Structure 1
Amino acid sequence: MPKASVLQKTELTYGLELGVGVGSIAGMLGGVLAVTFPPAGLILGGGAVIATTLAGASFGSVVSLLIARDIPNHELQTFETGIAQGQTLLILDIPTAQIDEITQLIKNTHPEAQIGVVKPAKERA
C-alpha cells in the first residue's frame, strides 16, 4: 500500500494559499507606498505595483512552503490515537461526486470502519 504523500501529511496546501495571499497583499502595499512616496530620482508607475505584488506573492509562497512542510496536517490528528493502537488509516483522494458511492461501498464491505470525509478547502469555504 503506498504511503501518504507530503500534501496529505502536511499543511503544505494551506501554507501555499496563505503565503500567496499574505505575500500579495504585502507586495501590493509596498508597491503603492513606493509609487506614492518614490525614492529620490525614481519615477514609478502602475507597473511597480504589479511587480511588487508578484514579488510579494512569490516570496510569501516560498517562505510559507518552507514552514508548512514541517507542520503535520491538523485533520489527521483525530486519527493519531487509533493509529497508535494499531488501527489502519486509509486515505482516499477521490472526486467529490463519488464520495457517497465509495462511502457506501466501504460501509457494505466493512461495517466496522469509521468514515470521515474531508472536502478540499475550496469546497469548505
Structure 2
Amino acid sequence: MNQIFLIVGGATSLLWGVSHLFPTKNVVNGFGDISVDNKYIITMEWIIEGVSLIFLGILTIFLAVTDSRNEISIIVFWFVIAMLIVLAIISLFTGFRVNFLPYKLCPFIFLFSALCVFLGIMI
C-alpha cells in the first residue's frame, strides 16, 4: 500500500471538485438565454459533479491516512477507481467535445486520479 499515491489521487479529485464550484455562475451564464428551469438543472449538475469529486477525494485521503490496509478500505478504493473511470468516460463523450480547455482536461484528470489510487493499492 502506497499512501503517497492514494493521497495524490484523492487530492487531485478533491482539488478538481473544488475548482468546479467557483465558476458555476459563469458556466450557467455561458449557455446564454435559456429557461430558468434549465439554468437550475445546469447549476445542479455542475455542483453535483464538483461535490462528488470532493467526496471521492476526501474519502480516499481519509482512508489513506487512517487505515488503508483494511479489507473494507481496499474495496472502497476500488469503488472510487470505478467511479472516476465512469466519470472519465462520460466526460470523454460530453465535455471533451466542447472547445474549452478545462472541459477537455476532465477525462484525463479523472483517469490520473484513478491511476494514482490504483497504484496506491497495488504498490
Q: Relative CO higher for 1 or 2, CA cutoff 8 Å, sep ≥ 6?
A: 2
More helix by share: 2
Provide TM-score, normalisation by structure 1. Answer: 0.34
Between Structure 1 and Structure 2, whose CA radius of gyration is higher?
A: 1
